[in-house]
Structure 1
């Protein structure tokens, strides 16, 4: 299993909205960055990802699961853009903030710290476990 991080501005699409969609989830559309698109193309069904609220909150609020492999992003006619579908798995009880993550020595190389603008990022297994621990999920799923 691989781990990821999905960033969204909560006023556009929040984790609460994802939870309301239930098990069907939704496509993670509108991504127009090649690195983020390539990350989605590498995802497998069942991979888990943090749901990060950017601009407002600046924290990891939930865990999502990839529920459909990369496919054409229906928000564009351009065949270069693909997306995966994700669904909510669970809330993070104590959402770690960006400041918490940046201050943690074990997370200094995390993509969230180094590549702040990338909307879909890889997360290492060690980072996953540490952020889950920080967020009150121990053991990590």
Structure 2
């Protein structure tokens, strides 16, 4: 019997959308297809975020990006911290906003998965288990996600 917790299954990674299609879709949130280099870069990172492995739907990711961007525009100094990164999907959304605001983003995670990601639970992903130690290890996927963004 599998344990259950209300949570959507992870989105299947897809190929990132082109910058033009993402830029156009995001133009109402301050990123335009004719914007500066930061806008183009944000659109690229957001395209990777949409394609990245993880549980966050694109509309929630966009809301996270929009809110973080508004905080970035307030002129508050200092780095940003994400607590709980899983495979890096939300770090891409936050990172796009941080980069656009000229801030650093630090991501903190033990990379062993939440309770519902463990064996016997509904959202367990066996391919995230390190065969050498038999435990969840999302760090390699996180690194690849951040690198690709």
- If each structure's strand is expressed as a fraction of its own residues, which one has the higher value? 1
Compare CA radii of gyration and give the structure with the larger one.
Answer: 2
- If each structure's helix is expressed as a fraction of its own residues, which one has the higher value? 2
Tell me whether the two structures share a fold, i.e. TM-score over 0.5: no
The higher-RCO structure (CA 8 Å, 6+ apart) is 1
- Relative to the length of structure 2, the TM-score reads 0.23
